[in-house]
Amino acid sequence: MYRYDEFDHAFVSSRVEQFRDQVERRLSGELAEDAFKPLRLMNGVYLQLHAYMLRVAIPYGTLNSKQMRMLAHIARKYDRGYGHFTTRQNIQYNWPKLSDTPDILAELASVEMHALQTSGNCIRNVTADHFAGAAADEVADPRPYAEILRQWSSVHPEFSFLPRKFKIAVTGAERDRAAIQVHDIGLHLKKNDKGEIGFAVYVGGGQGRTPLIAKKINDFLPEQDLLSYITAIMRVYNLHGRRDNKYKARIKILVHETGVEELSRQVEEEFAHLQETELKLPEADVAAIAAYFAPPALPERSEGWAQLAGWKKQDEAFARWVNQNVQPHKHPDYGMVTISLKPIGGIPGDASDVQMDVIADLAEEFANDEIRISHEQNVIFPHVALADLEPLYRALTAHGLETANSNLITDIIACPGLDYCALANARSIPVAQEISTRFGAPERQAEIGELKIKISGCINACGHHHVGHIGLLGVEKKGAELYQITLGGSGDEHTSIGEIIGRGFEPSKVTDAIETIVDTYLGLRTGKEEKFLDAYRRVGPQPFKDALYGEAKAEAA
């Protein structure tokens, strides 16, 4: 993984000291709140319902055990013994004292981490496929490009005060695991006929109150032009993006209002000025960054094949975990392991300090010291020998980390919702917990198959409900919570925005509604191989409306 150079160390340390001074001046009264608020936000410090919240960046979701141990230490020393991994591959602490935040940032800096650009109208943490560097279907590792973009965008003077926040995602495989089409810019790494690396460039996707799928504006951008082309997009956006209305300020609105042809023309025009400038990526620089992400030496461990078969035969729960949570690695003797942070009835994305320490220890012991956070709020060990799966599983089991539900109905994405968030209108976590508990039986989950439920507690859609196969949006109606259900959303290479199925449900009825939807699906699918999303796309919303509301009521709704 990337290691800080002298410049990075000096820069991050100087920012910590700058913020320490700002916090001291705030606490002494020298700085007023209005002046301080944008400064704390630039350092990832928000104010939520109960306390401050600190959002720490995990660039493209990649970290090592030393960094994970630091996250555990911070949870223990400065917070309430846990952290919350987010849909942007970051971690949030819900209870830090403002007065402690400079010390927290200093501790983070000691392991090459920070909280910069985790808030504000700037280019946020660049996200990437959590299986990067390990996936069998990968054309190239997206992380070197995510790192190049991170370096380029960090305190970029021209792009630090954009009309609105800006999110870039990169995937290196045809199968999109980074949801690139619902990002401001989505990059799909590919190779052309000559074997050269380039990018399909998508622009103007996003969720929130106006969900839009990104438009492809370039089918193959050569690698060397990455920064000049992205700069061209940013310039067009910075110039023409709306600053008069916060709700219309994202680039998706600009793309929508300008039209993709005209926007592409503007980008190409700007790109023509930039293409032959210092922004052109020298091959040597790309290679130097890529070297940081060289895959670990993975010795042959073919003994794992027979061992694995034996272990699976002996232990049904282990077999279930392997089948669900272990994906094929590009090396046949290895697997990519998903460590679920979705225990049945638990809080999606939360991990205790003890669990984080355990994950760090196990990453060192079994996973070449590489850890990822997925945008689906789970932990990934990308390189685990099949021969090590059983001892890893046993160790995870001792700490409640063995839930075998990756991509199943209980692998729910949920935002913090009204239990923490100052913007939320309704709770997300208790809804997720109840659904998880209802469907928690392993046999039932297996019978239902792949089904992604995503829950947001307000229209900002941090819980990605628009791209949930089943999406839940919490709203406030007459002072009470109400949950609107969308069906048919998807955040992969066939991205779609879910359709609202009808009127909303009270908290006490929402799990029953989910069960009705699931039972309807089970009743109409052509067979177990027809997944929920495929079945929905085949039959459309009507059978689900009929089941939820009755035929006559559905027409009225």
Give the residues lining the site for other proteins (CB under 8 A).
Answer: 26-27, 29, 32-33, 47-52, 80-82, 96-99, 347, 350, 352, 418-420, 422, 424, 427, 429-430, 433, 476, 479-481
Whether 52 and 96 have beta carbons less than 8 Å apart is answered as yes
Taking alpha carbons only, the member of 368, 286, 372 closest to residue 331 is: 368
Determine whether 374 is exposed, middle or buried from the number of CB atoms within 10 Å of its CB (0-12, 13-18, 19+): buried
Taking the complex as a whole, the smallest distance from the CB of residue 82 to other proteins amounts, in Å, to 5
Choose between 214 and 421: whose C-beta lies nearer to other proteins. 421
Taking alpha carbons only, the member of 257, 249, 232 closest to residue 165 is: 249
Does residue 429 sit in helix, strand or coil?
Answer: helix
Taking the complex as a whole, the smallest distance from the CB of residue 327 to other proteins amounts, in Å, to 30
Taking the complex as a whole, the smallest distance from the CB of residue 426 to other proteins amounts, in Å, to 8
CA 369, CA 3: separation in Å to the nearest integer?
14
285 forms beta bridges with none
380 forms beta bridges with 338, 372
Choose between 351 and 387: whose C-beta lies nearer to other proteins. 351
Choose between 376 and 481: whose C-beta lies nearer to other proteins. 481
At 434, the amino acid letter reads E
Q: H-type helices in 332-428, by residue range?
A: 353-366, 389-397
Taking the complex as a whole, the smallest distance from the CB of residue 237 to other proteins amounts, in Å, to 31
Choose between 32 and 291: whose C-beta lies nearer to other proteins. 32
Taking the complex as a whole, the smallest distance from the CB of residue 29 to other proteins amounts, in Å, to 4
Taking the complex as a whole, the smallest distance from the CB of residue 364 to other proteins amounts, in Å, to 25
82 forms beta bridges with 352
Taking the complex as a whole, the smallest distance from the CB of residue 424 to other proteins amounts, in Å, to 8
CA 121, CA 237: separation in Å to the nearest integer?
12
Taking the complex as a whole, the smallest distance from the CB of residue 463 to other proteins amounts, in Å, to 16
Choose between 387 and 429: whose C-beta lies nearer to other proteins. 429
Taking alpha carbons only, the member of 225, 233, 232 closest to residue 279 is: 225
CA 332, CA 329: separation in Å to the nearest integer?
6
Taking the complex as a whole, the smallest distance from the CB of residue 462 to other proteins amounts, in Å, to 16
CA 346, CA 433: separation in Å to the nearest integer?
6
CA 265, CA 398: separation in Å to the nearest integer?
57
At 515, the amino acid letter reads E
Determine whether 398 is exposed, middle or buried from the number of CB atoms within 10 Å of its CB (0-12, 13-18, 19+): exposed
Choose between 19 and 393: whose C-beta lies nearer to other proteins. 19
Q: Using the Cα atoms of residue 93, residue 98, residue 99 and residue 105 in order, give the sign of their dihedral.
A: positive
Choose between 74 and 227: whose C-beta lies nearer to other proteins. 74
Choose between 47 and 539: whose C-beta lies nearer to other proteins. 47
Choose between 144 and 346: whose C-beta lies nearer to other proteins. 346
Taking the complex as a whole, the smallest distance from the CB of residue 482 to other proteins amounts, in Å, to 12
Whether 275 and 267 have beta carbons less than 8 Å apart is answered as no
CA 380, CA 359: separation in Å to the nearest integer?
10
- Counting other chains too, the contacts that 200-204 makes at CB distance below 8 Å and 24 or more residues apart are 201/229, 201/233, 203/233, 203/251, 203/255, 203/263, 203/267, 204/251, 204/252, 204/254, 204/255, 204/256, 204/260, 204/263
Choose between 98 and 319: whose C-beta lies nearer to other proteins. 98
Taking the complex as a whole, the smallest distance from the CB of residue 416 to other proteins amounts, in Å, to 9
Q: H-type helices in 47-95, by residue range?
A: 65-78
Taking the complex as a whole, the smallest distance from the CB of residue 193 to other proteins amounts, in Å, to 53
Choose between 50 and 537: whose C-beta lies nearer to other proteins. 50
Does residue 218 sit in helix, strand or coil?
Answer: strand
Choose between 115 and 197: whose C-beta lies nearer to other proteins. 115
CA 59, CA 315: separation in Å to the nearest integer?
37
